[in-house]
Structure 1
Amino acid sequence: MSASFAKALEAAREAAGSQNNPTSTLYVVATPIGNLADISLRALHVLSVVDAIACEDTRHTQQLLRAYGLERPGAQLLSVHQHNEAEAAQTVIARLTQGERIAYVSDAGTPAISDPGARLVAAVRQAGCRVLPLPGASSVTTALSASGMTGERGFVFSGFLPSKLGERQQAVQALAQDSRAVVLLEAPHRIEALAQALAVLGERRITVGRELTKQFEQIETVAANALPAWLAEKPDRQRGEFVLVLHDAPVAATEGEGVRVLQVLLTELPLKTAVKLAAEITGESKNALYDKALALKKG
């Protein structure tokens, strides 16, 4: 444990030590998605006082706890992952009914979003025990906050698209019919295939978040049809974990709106810049707007 986290533990006790942490309760605890300093003071305190910690991967969680100076005996770590969640939930419930306090953490971020935890939470609630969430890091909201997407029409979390080609193409076709923003997750060995599938969405913008909160974090926004070339440009761009935000579809322009917007922009900007901005504002085809801009210039 570094000295900085020793101070964090002291601050956690001061900030949350007087709060009520009821027994017979499952604490759903968000943990960092990369940067260890993103842990909350409340999470540090709860992880230090619970009777046991249920986790997606006991080895990963033990390393996390060790970094904070909260290492636990192996018997206090309960394995609850996607392959045993239903059965392991019964063990957790049995201990909760005996008055214990148990935390649940996934490998990174907020449990039960894309990681395991939802079945555990549902079973615990059905058994009549309390579930107490501790908010914190989430790759979904982290990517959205850096995308510049307004979210006026809301957003959809789709997670990982199917790995099979046909099913993935069907999923992308469904995304094309939805004007809302969509958050996707992808692993490095499948990011090229996903980029090729999304390219059919044309100029609809995509914000790519790679290695969010980590040392080599990268956040870029490109058109969907430019994503494969952007990935191929540098090998490093295909490494790490990915969160992608498919921006909401532009509102269809009314007849003549593109020309009106172009007329305004062309008075202040170069032709190509004016066309690019007009396409983003109106949702019209960039090629069509370019032809209109040339006509306006000649006129």
Structure 2
Amino acid sequence: KKKYKNYQISYLKPWIDSKGTSLGFSFFNREDEYTDYNEDGNEVAEYNKKSRGFNISFGRQTGEYTRDYLTLESRKDSYKWDSDDSSGYRYDTDAISNTTGSGNDWNNTNPSTGGSWNFASNNYVKNNFGRINSITWQKVYDSRDNIYEPTRGRRISYTAQWAGHGLGGDFDFYKFTAEARMYKKLGAKNVLAFRARGGFIQGDAPYSQLFTLGGADSLRGYEDDQFRGKYMYNATLEFRFPIVKKVSGVLFTDIGDAWDAPNVTWYNSKKTFNYGVGAGVRITTPIGPVKLDYGVGKHKNKFHFSFGTQF
């Protein structure tokens, strides 16, 4: 199995002046194996995705519960192909100049029926991979009693990203996102948690900047990042309850969709209503929280295993 040399170096200073301004920066270089799925959850591509760049972020307290953030970032995303895979699921961006075709036209055969996609499309790579320079502003209202395991309060955020349009880079777009999280304690230890998100993009955003839904953190019962596009909505309702020490349970329902991905030519970007229901457990371990969920979607059932805190 191929080994990847990934690193991320981050630093944060919470207070740099008397007004509570924070300063943080991060340098990253990541390369991972990645799988793409079409709108039906069928695998259409396997490849190595590489991202490298840096960001600088400033934050300032603007009220008892509110804080504003301003982030400047420059990153470059690229495909990296390292396998001679005759199935057609992988493609080499270096070989694009040696192929012939008509722009964004792809082979009409489908991998699920024994065919293969022609991933060596010049316009596809040009329209989706390259350098992104952006400025992002975010306002956050947070009155939760605990940021890791909240039992009451709410967190509301608004985010606006300006990419290109005078900042350089290969892409020009605007991206807007809003999110609300609310928590209510039921009884002594049970918690009802709700999250709603929505967003849209103006301009030609590349593949890596599109909204994605599907998987453990957004829409359970579906493949990771199964849905993608310039428009997105998502909502989750969870009932959380303790089982034994360091183990808790959850009953959940998810809804959402992401659609309109004009530069992803192998993806049939149709607007649909997707839902998932299921149950899971949360286990606190020495290396961090572990989440295991079983989701029932419209067409299939799926286990989701992940690390990290709950929303």
TM-score under structure 2 normalisation? 0.23
The structure richer in helix per residue is 1
- Structure having the larger proportion of residues in strand: 2
Larger CA Rg, structure 1 vs 2: 1
Q: Under a length normalisation based on structure 1, what TM-score does the superposition of the two structures give?
A: 0.24
Using CA pairs under 8 Å that are at least 6 residues apart, name the structure with larger relative contact order, 1 or 2: 1
